Structure 1
Amino acid sequence: MPTSRRDFLKTSVLASSLLFVPKFLHALDRQGLTRMRDSNGRRLVVVQLGGGNDGLNTIIPYRNDLYYNARPTLGIKPQSGILTLEKDLGFNPAMTRLKALYDEGHVAVLNSVGYPNPDRSHFRSMDIWQSGSASDQYVATGWLGRYLDSNCPGCELPYNGLEVDDTLSLAMKGNVRKGLALKNPEKFHQITQNQLIAKISGEKANTGGSELDYLYKTLTETASSAEYLYQTSKVYKSGVSYPNTEFAKSLKTTAELINSGIESRVFYVSLSGFDTHVRQQEQQAKLLGNLSESLGAFAEDLQKSGEFENTLVLVFSEFGRRVSQNASNGTDHGTANNVLLLGGGLRQKGVLNDAPDLQNLDQGDLNYQVDFRSVYATVLRDWLRADDTVILGQEFARLSGLV
């Protein structure tokens, strides 16, 4: 007996959480896979640090007296084990794995990345970074979603953009195409094996193009994608030791997908907890240690498989923190921040621009040196070979020779 409308609608919430693809794009289209192989094969992994990471205690200006004057107890002293870089800057002592990769020429640091008229709200500033908009623009699509909308190799595949999470970020939502959110392929596949969902996805709706028909087709695409991702992900299981954290598990899943040959170009993972208003030093050190150890394991995984040269990691946070510490031995919401780039294909490495200017502040906050959309434009055009001007809505100066 056909599934009732009532029973079907009971599953609609689950259906909407499974797949975020507005067009039915033949998930297993082999022609799309062939075009993917014929492209440059490069992948982008975006790492979002949620909460506003304190950039000054991540990349530390350890020879600048203004830094220590502004942070008499919170400033990290050289004798604490600062991992020295260049231009009188150093990594937080917790970032030993990233320092090793830096010394090998696989890390680039951009200081004071931001945008004009910065917003200090977590939600609004994250929207700005994820959409690639100006602070006075409200955009319903993300910069990576619009990349998926573009005529990129493999874009017609619903899993060309994967977010390793339970929900999809604005960054991955386009007008026509959207990324796919999943915690891991096995659990995603298990969900689609629900008897009611399997029954619905195998039926043909006869509703004349209604919203119900749309949901039927969405479930069909979901089941198809889940089966492909699950079966393909079995090809490679990581033997690298990762930290026992959710963030590390997300990166391990990402590495296993890449090393299994999944035909996806963009991956998105998140690490939250950086809103350090109170007792920052211990909390941030733990988070940065997790970030560093997890990215170190991820890089090792890709190096062993030969995929590190074709993978670029972009690490960002929605804003930095104020230059001066607050009364609770923490820091409050600020503006410009550092961005890290990691990969085997970097053409420029090390600290790429001047340290933050602590003498010329904007009401106690850093002035930005680099517009974050210039970073996006560089990644889109020079790494992914996409039309950055169309995707971002205007032309931004690119960082010449970076990738």
Structure 2
Amino acid sequence: MTTKPNPSRREFLRAASLLSIVGSAGAPFAFNLATIGAAAAQAAPSDYKALICLFMAGGNDHGNTVLATDPQSWAEYQRIRTTSDAGSIALPAAGDAGGVLPITPNTVQPGRNFALHPSLQPLKELFDAKRVAIIANVGTLITPTTLAQYKAKSVKLPPRLFSHNDQQSLWQSSMPEGARSGWGGRMGDLMMAANAMPVFTAISVTGNNVFLAGRTIIQYQVSSAGAAPIGSLTGPLFGSSAGANPLQAIISGERTNLFEKDYATVVKRGIDAQGTFGSAFAVPGVVPDPTRYTNPNTGLPATNPLAVQLQTIARTIAGRNALGAKRQVFFVSMGGFDTHDGQRKTQADLMARLAHAMAYFDGVMGNLQGVNLRNQVTLFTGSDFGRTFSSNGDGTDHGWGAHHFVMGGAVNGMDIYGTFPVTGFKHDLDVGSGSLLPQISVDQYGATLASWFGLSATQIADVFPAIGNFSIKNLGFMG
């Protein structure tokens, strides 16, 4: 038996919107505030804001990123994470060579002291400067969940827990693998009316990702060299310098067939967007190159690819006026966090790169073309999941909740948001091997950022479908 397709009204409108974007005037730049509607144009913000998701792919070990160091917690940490193997993952105490870095949050959690991984010194300095906050025990949740409810499966749980692909998708979109839109893209859908050129609303510096996929908006992908060009349009084609213009005419010329016409329009949009982006992006000397970071394992300087990604974002933000941008969402990522083995050395280098890149970006935002943009740009971290507190010898396994960083001038920094979990096993948040049951949902985390970005409560409920299940919808870490 077969059934007729029954597309939802939202999917129909999305398809219609996409056709209107690519079909109007043969280029996206005719698609301006007036075509979106007078009401949207009137509500368009006059200031500029950017939101950047820095995704740590593979599942960062939060247990060695932010640590409780009060005597009871530290003793339990050392007992569990010091193994008989040469690859023990326990970090040295504060004050010892290569020891953890103590931090003092503004809000006291009675009986608890805290520290950061020894490679996070630049991030500690930003924390102390009140431009970084720590959000404790964040993870994918559909509704507030207790350990008893988790064990009894008496509430709806995120599907396919502990799976890389599905948890990455849930983190970025609120849906398992196969999701068609992410919460960054859905925010872009709602805020693109603020931008004269909506094509530059959602920008990825690390390839295609679900986070920036919108119901309407299409993510724009760039690299450190700028927009990806269509090959052979500006140089020789098959050895002939005369080939470029005919090629462009062939792939973007007028067509009568509907599908050919739409394809040509999309190609022309890409060519036009590349030219506009390139002009705004290629301003020389505006953004300094990042310094090299020091690999803590070798002591040698090296290029930091994450810092280069953030430089690309900084160059894009520098061109915001030329791009007609008021609201932009960005995505960068770094891999290598699936540390089943060799974790101590691997994570030391990853944390060094993370802190170096974030500190570099903070410095650039503090003086971009003579303007301090820190209050207008917020960066936050995400990851598939946390990891088990137990060690498998010299690594850890897939977990659930994890601690994350938020950075920017608008951040209520130098604090830890959420109750920091008990260190060890067999407590009321341990779902197995010290894997944490999250106390803060990704929806709450994202909704707090979305509120700062300018979304209304109604819009936030549209972007984050499960936010209505949580009594606290704003965690207070944004000013």
TM-score by length of 2: 0.73
1:171 aligns with 2:211: yes
Which residue is equivalent to 2:405?
340
Q: Give the counterpart of 2:80 among 70, 84, 88.
A: 70
Question: 1: CA distance between counterparts of 2:137 and 2:334?
Answer: 21
Deviation at 1:61, TM superposition (A): 2.0
Asked if 2 retains the 8 angstrom alpha-carbon contact of 1:321 and 1:334, the reply is yes
Distance (whole Å) between structure 2 residues aligned to residue 97 and residue 193 of structure 1: 44
Question: Of residues 256, 259, 272 in structure 2, which corresponds to 1:224?
Answer: 272
CA distance, structure 1, for counterparts of residue 275 and residue 225 of structure 2: 9
The answer for the alignment partner of 2:248 in structure 1 is 198
**Is 1:92 aligned to residue 110 of structure 2?**
no
**Alpha-carbon distance, 1:148 to partner:** 2.2
Per mean C-alpha deviation after superposition, the further-off stretch among 177-186 and 150-159 is 150-159
Q: What CA deviation, in whole Å up to 9, does each residue of 1:235-260 have, x standing for no partner? A: 35322533312222111111111123
Matched, 1:351 2:416: yes
What CA distance in whole angstroms lies between the structure 2 residues aligned with 1:85 and 1:267? 29
Counterpart amino acid of residue 134 in structure 2:
V
What's 2:381 paired with? Answer: 315
Counterpart contact for 1:97–1:293, Cα < 8 Å: yes
Which AA in structure 1 matches 2:270?
Answer: T
Q: Secondary structure at the match of 1:238?
A: coil
- Deviations along 1:32-79, one digit per CA (max 9) or x if unpaired, are 499898433111011000010100111122331222222113121212
Letter in 2 for 1:241: P
1:279 aligned partner, one-letter code: G
SS at match of 1:265: strand
CA contact (8 A) 1:36 1:154 kept: no
Aligned pairs, number:
377
Is the contact between residue 63 and residue 389 of structure 2 (CA under 8 Å) also seen in structure 1?
A: yes
User: CA contact under 8 A between 2:53 and 2:381: conserved in structure 1?
Assistant: yes
Cα distance in structure 1, aligned partners of 2:464 and 2:90: 37
CA shift for structure 1 position 93: 0.6
The answer to whether the 8 Å contact 1:43/1:384 transfers is no
RMSD: 2.6
- Which residue in 2 is equivalent to 1:288? 351
Aligned to 1:376: 446
Q: For 1:390, which of 454, 462, 466 is the aligned residue?
A: 462
- What SS is found at the alignment partner of 1:399? coil
State the secondary structure of the residue aligned to 1:172: coil
Gapped runs of 5+ residues in structure 1? 1-20
CA distance in 2, matches of 1:162, 1:98: 25
SS at structure 1 position matched to 2:437 = coil
Distance 1:191 1:157 in 2: 24
Shift of 1:187: 5.5
Q: What is the aligned partner in structure 2 of residue 82 from structure 1?
A: 100
Matching residue within 305, 316, 320 for 1:257: 316
Cα distance per residue 1:293-313 (max 9 Å; x no partner): 011111101101211110000
Map 1:203-214 onto structure 2 (within 5 A): 203-207=253-257, 209-210=258-259, 212-214=260-262
Structure-2 residue corresponding to 1:5: none
Aligned letter for 2:281?
S
TM value normalised by structure 1? 0.86
Alignment partners' CA distance in 1, 2:374 and 2:103: 23
- For residue 30 of structure 1, report the CA deviation from its aligned partner: 8.5
Aligned identity (percent) is 20
* Among 416, 436, 441, the residue aligned to 1:366: 436
Within-5 A mapping of 1:91-240: 91-116=116-141, 117=157, 119-133=161-175, 139-150=179-190, 152=192, 153-154=194-195, 157-165=198-206, 167-186=207-226, 188-189=228-229, 191=231, 193=233, 195=244, 198-200=248-250, 202-207=252-257, 209-210=258-259, 212-235=260-283, 237-240=286-289
* SS of the residue 1:95 aligns to: helix
The whole-number CA distance in structure 2 between the counterparts of 1:369 and 1:197 is 56
Aligned equivalents of 1:96, 1:269: Cα separation in 2: 22
Residues 1:240 and 1:156: Cα distance change in structure 2 (over 3 Å): closer
Letter in 1 for 2:183: W
Q: How does 1:21-40 map to 2 (within 5 A)?
A: 23-24=21-22, 26-29=27-30, 31-32=32-33, 38-40=45-47
| 8 Å contact kept, 2:50–2:329 | yes
1:277 maps onto 2:335 in alignment:
no
CA distance in 2, matches of 1:350, 1:362: 26
Residues 242 and 294 in structure 1, CA contact (< 8 A), matched pair in contact too: no
